[in-house]
Amino acid sequence: MSRFIHSRYQAMEPYTPGEQPQGRKLIKLNTNESPYAPSPKVLEAVDRAQVELLRLYSDPEAKILVNAIAGFYGLEPAQVVVSNGSDEILAFCYMAFGEQGFRYPEISYGFYPVFSETFAVDGEAIALNDDFSIDITKYFNAGKTVLIANPNAPTGLYLGLDQIEEILKHNCDNVVIIDEAYVDFGGESAVKLLERYDNLVVVQTFSKSRSLAGARLGFALASKELAEDLNKMKFSFNPYNVNRLSMVAGAEAMKDTAYFYECTERIMKTREKTSETLKAMGFTVLPSKANFLFAKPGNMDGTEYFMKLREEGVLVRHWSNPKIVDYVRITIGSEEEMEQFCQITKKIVEG
């Protein structure tokens, strides 16, 4: 660190992304990417002509992408804001709605407390119940912006829309952000509540269910007024935040609904099969509505299991936080990858 850094950032702990090994052949189940390639329509659309157009800036209004998203969700384009990954939309939310502070679950996406530091927002982390569920009453009348990942990460636990609606009803005077990075794997989007709640922001990503993590595409769905606020942040930070190739890729991926449902259904099927296999081997596995499982081995601690998987060339995610140290988060890979993962796990637990 230099002596020039802003004093506010001297003690800041940045977010630690999951490992992205370059080149080495590993079974990579650590950052919740899709095991499947993007839609074939993406491959067709990102062609030579698009590459040649890279000399020009991208459309700051991202019309083709915004229209494709609005079309899929039956919203007006003015209700959609797009970004360079959903991390960036979350950043815009902190900028726009951070004045009174944020409230979020203590065990959730690791970026939430980091953004509180980055944007000097008062972040209040609320403990989960002992079974990792969220007590929604702790988010009632928050007097600050509420941010909940649904399904939650890394637990995979899901709140029904009736519970999300209760949170919205009890926060009429502040914004409620529902981060739906994993909602396409069996959950129901809160987007249908938008017509009744003007305090709701739904955040989604192309990184998981649409196989475009490397394209960096995220979006928010909200009332026109809230979307306008988020666009104000975007145009005050990086108007060309979505590059040309990603914009084309995202629009095609959003329109190819058949491929989207095919991939998400396959992943859900593999998830359920993997969960049953792990349970039969003595694991505790939380019921997941995401493209990952949060699981604890029966006969060793989470750290040991994590290390042994790594020795066998399998990457999963593990945290040293004592509340979840016994667990690992396992991304659902392809059918073959998960079979290999289960075989390796069997070897490990049988010693």
Chain residues binding ligand PMP by CB under 6 A are: 85-87, 109, 149, 153, 179, 181, 205, 207, 213, 218
Q: Least separation, in Å, of the C-beta of 62 and ligand PMP?
A: 15
Categorise residue 95: left if φ over 0, alpha if ψ from -120 to 50, beta otherwise. alpha
Nearer to ligand PMP, 96 or 281 (CB): 96
The DSSP 8-state label assigned to residue 208 in this structure reads S
Nearer to ligand PMP, 165 or 179 (CB): 179
Cα dihedral across residues 11, 12, 16, 22: positive or negative: negative
Contact 155, 296 (CB under 8 A): no
Q: Least separation, in Å, of the C-beta of 208 and ligand PMP?
A: 7
Nearer to ligand PMP, 62 or 149 (CB): 149
Nearer to ligand PMP, 191 or 281 (CB): 191
- Rounded to whole angstroms, how far apart are CA atoms 294 and 14? 24
> Considering only CA atoms, which of 263, 208, 270, 202 is closest in space to residue 41?
263
237-249 burial code (b ≥16 CB/10 A, e <16): eeeebbbbbbbbb
Element (H, E) at 119: none
Nearer to ligand PMP, 153 or 161 (CB): 153
- Rounded to whole angstroms, how far apart are CA atoms 153 and 290? 8
Q: Least separation, in Å, of the C-beta of 115 and ligand PMP?
A: 11
Nearer to ligand PMP, 98 or 156 (CB): 156
For residue 295, the number of C-alpha atoms closer than 13 Å in the C-beta half-sphere is: 27
Q: Least separation, in Å, of the C-beta of 347 and ligand PMP?
A: 29
Q: Least separation, in Å, of the C-beta of 228 and ligand PMP?
A: 22
Nearer to ligand PMP, 207 or 277 (CB): 207
Which residue carries 């390796």 as its tokens? 344
Nearer to ligand PMP, 153 or 293 (CB): 153
Nearer to ligand PMP, 237 or 347 (CB): 237
Q: Least separation, in Å, of the C-beta of 37 and ligand PMP?
A: 17
Q: Least separation, in Å, of the C-beta of 155 and ligand PMP?
A: 11
Residue whose C-beta lies closest to ligand PMP: 85
Q: Least separation, in Å, of the C-beta of 14 and ligand PMP?
A: 14
3-state SS, one letter per residue, for 137-169: HHHCCCCCEEEEECCCCCCCCCCCHHHHHHHHH
Q: Least separation, in Å, of the C-beta of 159 and ligand PMP?
A: 13
Chain-centre distance for alpha carbon 23? 25
- Rounded to whole angstroms, how far apart are CA atoms 179 and 152? 8
> Considering only CA atoms, which of 315, 314, 323 is closest in space to residue 296?
323
